A and B are shown apart, each in its own frame.
Chain A
Amino acid sequence: MARVELRHINKRYPGVQALDDIDLDIESGEFFTLLGPSGCGKTTLLRTVAGFNRQDSGEVRVAGERIDGMPAYRRNIGLVFQDYAIFPHMTVGDNVAFGLRNRGRPRQEIAERVARALDLVRLGAHAARLPHQLSGGQQQRVGLARAVVIEPQILLMDEPLSNLDAKLRIELRDDIRDLQRSLGITTIYVTHDQEEALVISDRICVMQGGRVHQVGTPWEVYARPATLFVASFVGAMNVIADLRVGAGGALALGLASRLAPVLAGRDCVTLAIRLEDMTVAGTSEDVPSDALALDGAVDKVTFAGREAFYRVQLDDGPQILAHVHRPERRLLERTGARVRLILPLANVHLFDPALGRRIEAVS
């Protein structure tokens, strides 16, 4: 259990800045997730902490001690791999014992700790098996036991679930979370699956192009995305880019607006709204004063069981996708119908088109 501080970490590969001034504090016992698209530098950052690649500049501190000059085998860090990396020529028990043997622990102690670790991941009965006799999910649980049995200061996991099928992924996701809670071990977890990140994390760090876009709780990241990138990467979002703002802050789109004060002085803004954050109403519907209304025609209806999606062609140009919870049959036959989308201002996200930064719409 330890606090992790990453200070101004930079790493350049030929032609790409893999890490661009990463500065993060991870609290003791926290489940901290690095989330971002492929190639954004998550693995690079994780391997820098683990000691498998060296940053060009910057510091890594664990529990206040600087570790970035230390070789990987001396850092007390547990690692869980995407491809399990189980030693195929050793039994499950030997795999888990490997780290303890490297530390020269007495036999008796090793046996006890291995047994306890295997019980923790519900593999107590499989200690004598060889890895190829286990399923993928079981192999990854061995990987987990092997990493935690050495009682590492921190635990690092690089997409540990991405080789598993959907059902196992959910099962093991919960196992990992429970194990982390019960051991209270500081964990840095890498994924590009935003839903997984939201479910499992205490805090999420959203990255792109080697840079940190936002660090926050799952709720903050989802409900108050700090940048346009976060908004569109986490969850599904309608984005209306480069909307013209008229004199005095009037929007070029929709009807009445209380946004004028925030928008005054700008000539352009990017607006985003989640699919489920608006209501689909008839064109005669009254518009509340704290909402924006957009009129258009239903272009396409997609039915997916417990939910449906409307694609609405707005009169003013772009298309918007709206989510309808528990759709009724009559609502599914409305292709071509005129509708009014009502967007409560509290749910509308505004971004500076040039910088991609959030503009607080309503205080």
Chain B
Amino acid sequence: MSPRWRPDFWSGVLVVALAVVAVLMVWPLYNIFSASVIDNRSGALTVANFAQILGRPAYQGALINSLIVGVGGMLGATLLGVPLAMLTTRFVIKGRDLLATLAVLALVSPPFIGAYAWIMMLGSNGWMRALLADIGIELPPIYGMFGILLVFSLKFYPFVFLLTASGLGAISPSVEEAAESLGAGPWRRFFKVTLPLVFPAVSSGALLAFVLSIADFGTPSIVGGKVRLLATTAFDLFTAEMGGNPGLASATSVVLIAVSMAVVVLQRWAVRRRDIAGSLIRRPSPQRLGPIISAAAHFVCYAIVVAGSLPSLVVIYTSFRKTSGPVFHPGFSLDSYARILGEVPHVIVNSFAFSTGAVLLIVILGTLIGYILARRETLAAGALDSVLLVPYIVPGVVMGLAFVVTFNVPPLQITGTAAIIILMLFIRRLPYAVRSSAAILKQIKGSIEEAAISLGARPGRAFLKVTLPLMLPGVIAGALMGFITAINELSSSLILYVGRTMTMPVRIYLSVLDGQFGTASALATILLAATGLAVFVVFRISDRKESVFV
């Protein structure tokens, strides 16, 4: 930096950004950490909460179950995602774009929709289970660990698929041909050359699956039956009838964060020195397969993708069925839609309003912070960059708890307002917008802006006239992505909502617990439609297509 510090537009932005992050992220999380080591009554420093989690069988069980869910969801997603990626990039598979689009749609639809759709199919009264029973296949209802893992595997495989596919697309075919000419057979080539090269991509997809699996709250509480996890335990401890146990809830949250963080570190370590930037002269071209193998490959690809999309289809179908209360009748109607419009119109309005508000904030601040991170190398910018990693590993439940603890007392008493939900959505999704705008900026040469400045444009004008127009498609895509995740957010809203500020995901969740599948499906269909529309627009304006979503 120059010895003489001259405050300009960008230093102002930096100060605002640091303040926002401090108030909305560092402070709430600090409160959770301090609550976890403080005795509820005496206020003395204690490790008793952690001792309980690690010592008492019920909490131990939750920790172990969370690890099983994380590892299981990760393995399931990898086992579906990697073969799909291999097949679609290496061989001629018809409808590759359709497969990718369906995978993206499965990815962006909220996970709790998957959970209750599978209950409608394979639950105690599930129609698919009944069908299978008719032909002699008796399945137990899916409640429990199996159900959770099924939903997570089918929900998170697109991360692994899309990341691995783009990783495979970046491997020069010459490398594999070289291995072949040196005498490596197909299997040896795959394990010795291809796999090590895509490992970073596969593992970052797997990492996402793990972190999201242990953070998810809706799925285990809908389909998990008696299985207790850290996320559900923290929620229950906090919201329990008798005033809850904030100390223990906080300690559970801290353990949850620690597990996520450990896995992130592990993955970073596993891919160390593996950032292989190849120069691609030739793109790999897919090979044709013999008719039988080709049919098998098509079957595998479509089976995975259809299974992943099945919940959405079931939900849409269900929303149009005739119902009276929880009971379905033969035939179709718009009853469910009439009911939600009559009973909870404000829920729909809230969802759109909160998400839009959050996205506006995210876009403005995210773009500006992204600029600072990409173009200014200062200590403060570096600190901001690392702090912004935090929301990636803090589950929504934990962030929701942190917000309640922090903002239910003066000076910032905003619990029960729309503001707290908007700010929550904002801070949870801000890092994604920052990352994406920083990534776009890295592609725009800095000299372009310097050219503008040398031609007499002030820094602010240079940004507006030259940099921003070039960033715009990326910014819009990022905004839509933010919108999709914001409108589908369940876990933190569930902690922060009051009747007036209820959102669609919360209403769906409550309806499902009540067995009101008709209204749940109608609301979920609206969510899916909004999400699908946003995805469509992203596809239209972005040339990176699917890779925008991971």
Contact = CB atoms under 8 A, between A and B. Distances in A.
Contacts of A71: 458
A74 B2 CA distance: 18
A332 B466 CA distance: 60
Interface residues of A, number: 31
A339 interface: no
B469 interface: yes
A78 B452 CA distance: 10
Interface stretch (B235-243, B352-360, B443-451, B537-545): B443-451
A118 B127 CA distance: 73
A212 to B, nearest CB: 23
A277 B530 CA distance: 79
Interface stretch (A95-103, A185-193, A323-331, A342-350): A95-103
The winner among A74, A81, A102 for most chain B CB atoms within 10 A is A102
A73 B453 contact: yes
A87 B466 contact: yes
A72 B469 contact: no
A73 B448 contact: no
A56 B1 CA distance: 10
Interface in B433-474: 445, 447-448, 450-459, 461-462, 465-466, 469-470
Nearest to B457: A102
A75 B453 CA distance: 9
Contacts of A53: 2
B331 interface: no
Interface residues of B, number: 22
A56 B447 CA distance: 23
A85 B447 contact: yes
Interface in B396-454: 445, 447-448, 450-454
Interface string A117-155: 000000000000000000000000001001100100000
A232 to B, nearest CB: 32
B454 A102 contact: no
B470 A73 contact: no
A85 B455 CA distance: 12
Contact of A81 (B4, B451, B459, B462): B451
The winner among B2, B4, B454, B456 for most chain A CB atoms within 10 A is B454
A167 interface: no
Contacts of A102: 455-457, 461
Contacts of B183: none
A146 B451 contact: yes
B454 to A, nearest CB: 4
Given A88-B470, A89-B469, A89-B470, A98 B447 contact: no
Prevailing SS type, chain B contact patch = helix
A151 to B, nearest CB: 12
Nearest to A152: B454
A136 to B, nearest CB: 14
A77 B454 contact: yes
Contact of A56 (B3, B453, B454): B3
Contacts of A83: 445, 447
B447 A73 contact: no
Nearest to B446: A85
Nearest to B445: A83
A324 B70 CA distance: 75
Given A89-B469, A89-B470, A102-B461, A73 B454 contact: yes
B441 to A, nearest CB: 14
Nearest to A96: B455
A52 interface: yes
Given A83-B445, A85-B447, A89-B470, A54 B455 contact: no
B41 to A, nearest CB: 53
A52 B450 contact: yes
A110 to B, nearest CB: 13
A54 B3 contact: yes
Contacts of B448: 85-88
B454 A98 contact: no
B3 A50 contact: no
Interface in A26-70: 50-54, 56
A252 to B, nearest CB: 51
Contact of B450 (A85, A99, A146): A85
Interface in B5-34: none
B2 A150 contact: no
Interface in B253-310: none
A207 interface: no
A73 B458 contact: yes
Contacts of B462: 73
Contacts of A79: 450-451, 454
Given A54-B3, A89-B470, A73 B451 contact: no
A81 B281 CA distance: 27
A72 B450 contact: yes
B469 A54 contact: no
Contacts of B455: 73, 98-99, 102, 146-147, 150
Contacts of B2: 53-54
Nearest to A57: B3
Interface of A: 50-54, 56, 71-79, 81-83, 85-89, 98-99, 102-103, 143, 146-147, 150
Given A75-B454, A81-B447, 13 more contacts: A50-B454, A52-B450, A53-B2, A54-B4, A56-B3, A73-B453, A73-B455, A73-B459, A85-B448, A98-B457, A98-B465, A99-B456, A143-B451
Counting from the closest, the 9 A-B pairs by CB-CB distance are A99-B455, A102-B456, A85-B447, A54-B2, A79-B454, A85-B451, A81-B447, A73-B453, A72-B453
6 contacts: A53-B2, A73-B459, A73-B462, A85-B445, A89-B469, A147-B454
Interface of B: 2-4, 445, 447-448, 450-459, 461-462, 465-466, 469-470
